[in-house]
Structure 1
Amino acid sequence: MLSSTATTMLRAGVSRSSGALQPMLLRSAACPYSPFSMNSTTKLQKPTTTSVRTLSTTPSALVLRFRAQQQAQQQLRKASSTTRPRSDAELDASAAEAAAAAQTAAHAGEPVLDWNTFFKLRKTRRRVQLVFSVIMTLVTSGAGGAVLSTGVADSLVSQVPLEPMFAIGLMTASFGALGWLMGPAMGGMVFNAMKSKYRSQMAIKESQFFARIKKHRVDPSASSMGNPVPDFYGEKISSVAGYRQWLKDQRAFNKKRTTFV
């Protein structure tokens, strides 16, 4: 005889219809942890897995926003620099630099003329032009005076409200001024014929030199009686040392302008 504490776990019964043995599990106090008799407190809990945070190689939203802001600022600065109106001096300097670069590319195969030789040739050309200016002044004034003394222009002289001698003198001086203006052109032609091998290189150096002059010279609108413009066209430059001194004079002009303005 079984005790009450060890109750029967199986109740065998034979089904009349199928004749199969149907086990029936009974809930017992001796087997409280039976999987078929669990209550809410004894349910199996799923194992908790600790999530491991992996390092991401993709940039975060803050980094992307910072990069976008930097790109926007760069584009804004580039747009402002391109849309900013350029002054006449900057336009002249850029045009001179472009012309110098074009001439240098056109004569790339020729030997390069150094700056010292260029300044020496430039000084020689200026002297030749000065000599021809003097010669042409004497020639044209003498020829004009000889023509006027023949009485060809008496009708024109009579229309001038001055004494005939003064009128003839003014006309002779005008002929001499015309010869003085013709002198540099005549002297340049003679110099180019004498130094024909340096002609193309002289043109290249001239473009480069004037590009530098236009780029570094001062603004003449800020000049005054106490602070005149120092050699605006660079005509007095005759050597490399003279060019460096010209740059110092330009800086001194700007410094004096910012000091007293």
Structure 2
Amino acid sequence: MQNFASRLLLQSCGTLPQSLARTNARPRILFRVKSTQATAATPASTGTELNWVEYLEIRRRRRQWQTIFTIPCSMIGFLGGSFYFGSLQTDPLKPIMGIDPMMFYGGCTLLCMGAGYVVGPSIGSAVWRISNRNSLAIIDARDREFYKHVAKNRVDAALQSATNPVPDYYGEKIGSLRQYRQWLRDQAKYRRKAVLPEE
């Protein structure tokens, strides 16, 4: 019936009115698509928020990665140093820098092990960042906020001494809310001891 009426109008007017032309076209659901996209994007935007419990758990896992990589890097440094310095030709009667060659090479091997111990956490952190590259922006933003909290609540470094350093000055050992509260208590206790005279 609509086709007959539209043909009649077309013959009489010469053109088909736009309102009737749209009736034969495929219905568009622009508003539906947009609203569906908007609601689908809402959980993703709220999912990008990282609460403190999740952040501190991520921080604890990152520290575990750093610790785990310290052990093999130290062993690689030790084995590499022992293979290298063990393969060198030495004259036991000629001291090196005034030190017995075996003692000198043993010390160098331990230095290689120490270098592996120092480099291990950096390698562990790099591997952790690669494995979590999808959420790095959120974690880095939360890191900056966390370090602002630490800088605001920690004891002034001028109050420490060589025999009595500030406990966990950078908050590296904080891996949960309980540990963060304990860190705050330790900072307050240290501040009271340093500022108030002992009775």
Q: Tell me whether the two structures share a fold, i.e. TM-score over 0.5.
A: yes
**TM-score, normalised with respect to structure 2:** 0.67
Q: Which has the larger radius of gyration?
A: 1
Residue 88 of structure 2: aligned partner: 151
Q: Which has the higher contact order (CA 8 A, sep 6+)?
A: 2
Determine whether 1:250 maps to 2:187: yes
* Offset from partner CA, 1:163-182 (integer Å, 9 cap, x none): 22111110101111111111
* Ranges in structure 1 where 5+ consecutive residues have no aligned partner: 1-107
| Alignment partner of 1:204 out of 109, 129, 141 | 141
Deviation at 1:258?
3.4
Determine whether 1:232 maps to 2:184: no
Q: Which amino acid in the other structure matches residue 249 of structure 1?
A: D
* Offset from partner CA, 1:26-55 (integer Å, 9 cap, x none): xxxxxxxxxxxxxxxxxxxxxxxxxxxxxx
What is the number of residues matched between the two proteins?
152
Q: What SS is found at the alignment partner of 2:150?
A: helix
Q: Which amino acid in the other structure matches residue 85 of structure 2?
A: L
On the 8 A contact 1:227/1:253 being kept in 2, the answer is no
Cα distance in structure 2, aligned partners of 1:217 and 1:133: 28
* Offset from partner CA, 1:180-221 (integer Å, 9 cap, x none): 111112111211122222211111111111111111111232
| Alignment partner of 1:169 out of 98, 103, 106 | 106
On the 8 A contact 2:65/2:128 being kept in 1, the answer is yes
| Alignment partner of 2:73 out of 124, 136, 139 | 136
* Ranges in structure 2 where 5+ consecutive residues have no aligned partner: 1-44
Cα RMSD, aligned residues only: 2.6
What does residue range 61-80 of structure 1 map to in structure 2 within 5 Å? none
On the 8 A contact 2:60/2:176 being kept in 1, the answer is no
**TM-score, normalised with respect to structure 1:** 0.52
| Alignment partner of 2:58 out of 105, 109, 121 | 121
* Offset from partner CA, 1:37-90 (integer Å, 9 cap, x none): xxxxxxxxxxxxxxxxxxxxxxxxxxxxxxxxxxxxxxxxxxxxxxxxxxxxxx
On the 8 A contact 1:128/1:188 being kept in 2, the answer is yes
